[in-house]
Structure 1
Amino acid sequence: MAKRKVDTENRGFQTRWESEYMFTKVAGKPVCLLCGESVAVLKEYNLRRHYETKHADKNKNMDMEQRLQKAEELKRGLKSRQALFKKAKSQGQAAVKASFILAEEIAKSARPFTEGDFIKNCMIKVCDEVCPEKRQLFLNVSLSRNTIAERVDQLSINLKEQLVKKGKDFIAYSLAVDESTDISDIAQLSIFIRGVDSNLSVTEEFLALRPMHGTTTGHDLYEEVSRCVNEMELPWEKLVGLTTDGAPAMCGHRSGLVAKIREKMQEENATGELTAYHCIIHQEALCGKALKMEHVMSIITRTVNFIRAKGLNHRQFKAFLTELETEHGDLPYHTEVRWLSQGKVLQRCFELREEICLFLDSKGKDTTQLRDEMFV
């Protein structure tokens, strides 16, 4: 004989049970108004047994009208407690959400996690002036250093999970890899990904930053990239492009990263051809080194240094530009290390060439070269 299922009997809660047994229905289950216990099966026998076993002696002298009145009072009390619990739960969820939002802003601005305490103090002071009755809501927002660190870690995990989910829909993806040493002499391997799905929606994300405490040979780089690809559950046969710099460990024909990944794709029976690219930023750097710009940069550098090196000249030049109401209010420095600043310096000097000549004339400096048409 098959076992009878209670949920298929369509048992309903009867209103008379509220006054007879002091029970009410909460979320589909009968709950005792006197002790708060719930009964698993919605059956009159179970309700009556519970009432007679635990509460009959206390309420035996009450008539039906008194029972109805007491049941209504208990129901109102239960509803108020439920409303209070829902409100507290809602406020708690809002406090947690606010904590995540502020943790994200702190992480985006690269500020220390201890900034959370400072932000909370500012929030409370503003609250005391604007809405003091809601002070407790702001106090409930946890922004301690450990909380912010935990929130940032959870955000990172969530972003990784989203990227893994997106990666499953990629029909093709490419990687960009670069290795550089930080201020503590630890090699950091940065990996970027660009993937496209069947709807031609392109996703570009920073995939991973892997510290390398030992050697940085082509095999070491390959091991880190391979581990990252496997963790993200990316299929090797869908890898179509790899961008690196010109280092031998990256581009070596036998033991470089590109060669190792091509061997891996052959092992995985990938039919597509891996296209290796040279990083465009490194190409621009090489072009900047190859260009013969000394005949221009020597004059511009000498001019900028005259204005920026001495505090008095710099202050006077800025005041001079303010007086003339020019579009730019200052000149940028140029250094060999920051080679990208070379174009910015040249462009700014070209746009302020008349003002620079006037300022140098006031200082008794020769501006013949700066005014030469061929030089300009």
Structure 2
Amino acid sequence: MRKGEDFVAYSLAVDESSDTSDTAQLSIFIRGVDSNLCVTEELLGLKSMHGTTTGKDIFEEVSKCVDEMKLPWDKLVGLTTDGAPAMCGQKSGLVGRMREKMREKQAGELTVYHCIIHQEALCGKALKMDHIMSTVTQVVNFIKAKGLNHRQFKSFLEELGADHSDMPYHTEVRWLSRGKVAKRFFELREEICLFMESKGKDTTELRDEKFQCELAFLCDIMNHLDALNLQLQGRAHVITDMYYAVRAFRTKLRLWESQMQQGNLAHFLCCQVMKEQTATAVMPFAQFAEKLILLGAEFTRRFADFEAQKCRFELLSNPFAFDVNNAPSNLQMELIELQCNDTLKSKYDSVSAAQFPPYLPDTLPELHAQAAQMLSMFGSTYLCEQLFSLMKMNKTPHRSRLTDEHLHSVLRISSAQSLTPEIDALACKKRCQVSGLDPCASSE
């Protein structure tokens, strides 16, 4: 990977998953920034791990990958992983061993992040509304687990002229499915009750107004969480934008908590429906406000590692409004020069914050280096998760004997973004193989 030689800063995103043959596949993505502050985001390596997957094993594979690509350790500035102990362990995990390696190489401090999308999905557990989702899942499983029940349910919805023709399944590993199932269940709650009663099932809980109010609240808050989740997904996201999306959501939570205390359901549409159908006294506004407070506290706790970088984020996203007194001493003089430059201020106003860093002149080397480090940071392991989805489509039970080498080649091509093959160089390495002389040719 020749581009790696030009990187002035780079970060890694690391995650692990098992393929259909139960082989652990370790994906390693790199996000590098060159001296022109151009960002390259590509698959660095995919390693098959046929033995154990301890922190030591993962570290050895990552370290080997970095060395094979001849990437300088002193240019490594960030590491993003999922929350597994083998990854996040401060002593024997990948994080701890990577930091020890950096100290041995006398490199700088390694900034570590727990995947922001994974963190956001885990925050939903603070609501402690599993009892609602458990009931929903049991009913959905009853309807869809048996073919006869499922066919009868779809026919039943068709006869009633319902807005939807079926119910989706909830899959735990698919974070967005939870909100979709809850919302569809809420929209079909009357039809579901009638169908369950036709099957001789007790629907006392399903028809309980308190249950339906809690279901409505769960639908609304999950809809907001899913919208944030989708906002955080995708390639080439600048980490500052992801951080500000989460910060904005925390601010929204405070607004919703205040409005909920006052009985204002402006941003909770399903709750509005229930409020119109039930007595006002039934809607537990105080209980829902408390849950919003708990959710906000969980966001604060889980995103503490991102909050600790707030100063660096603001330096990249809005350097002209940054208070020089709060800047690191090595950046203060250059920051003053930047803020007093009307030409650069005009350029900043005409482009987005993420597009501005390449316009920083060479006369501001410290700000240039700071921008390179921040632009190289991964906010999530989204690329790893996307690669695993591609892996499951390529290495299926019908193609379980696909070799590691072929799987790696297929996924490298599938995940490539800016890298292109050097066809001429590859062709020069090949020699034409002649199977035999032309029988029509002269024997002379």
With a CA cutoff of 8 Å and minimum separation of 6, indicate the structure with the bigger relative contact order.
2
Provide the TM-score with structure 2 as the length reference: 0.41
Q: Say which one has the larger Rg.
A: 1
Provide the TM-score with structure 1 as the length reference: 0.47
